[in-house]
Amino acid sequence: MFKLGDIIIMKKPHACGENRWEVIRLGADIKVKCLGCGHIVMIPRADFSKKFKKVLTQADQVKPENEEHYLRQTQLMPSNFTKRNEE
């Protein structure tokens, strides 16, 4: 359906007029970033599923130099499931 770094379209546009969003966090809540103004919104997964329309561009096909507010994979938050080094 969608994964981290994908550019998606929601059913309604953002207040700035842009309808393209980047998925920057997945979990119980989904964090998306508006590619028009850079505003970040966290939406509960159930609400997101209702508002989500389609995936516009897969993460591996995005050209970051063409997107002003796009975050590269190295800039995204690391997963909480990484194993910590115990000292």
Question: What pLDDT does residue 3 have?
Answer: 83
| 77 within domain boundaries | no
3-state secondary structure of 17: coil
| 86 within domain boundaries | no
For each of the chain's 87 residues, which pLDDT tens digit applies?
788 888 899 999 999 888 999 888 888 899 999 988 889 999 999 999 999 999 987 766 666 655 655 665 555 555 555 555 444
Question: What pLDDT does residue 80 have?
Answer: 56
- For 24, the domain range is 7-61
**Which of 33, 41, 43 has the alpha carbon at shortest distance from 69?**
33
| 50 within domain boundaries | yes
Q: Report how many domains make up the chain.
A: 1
Question: What pLDDT does residue 74 have?
Answer: 56
| 76 within domain boundaries | no
End-to-end CA distance of the chain: give it in Å, rounded: 39
H helical segments located in the chain: 45-51
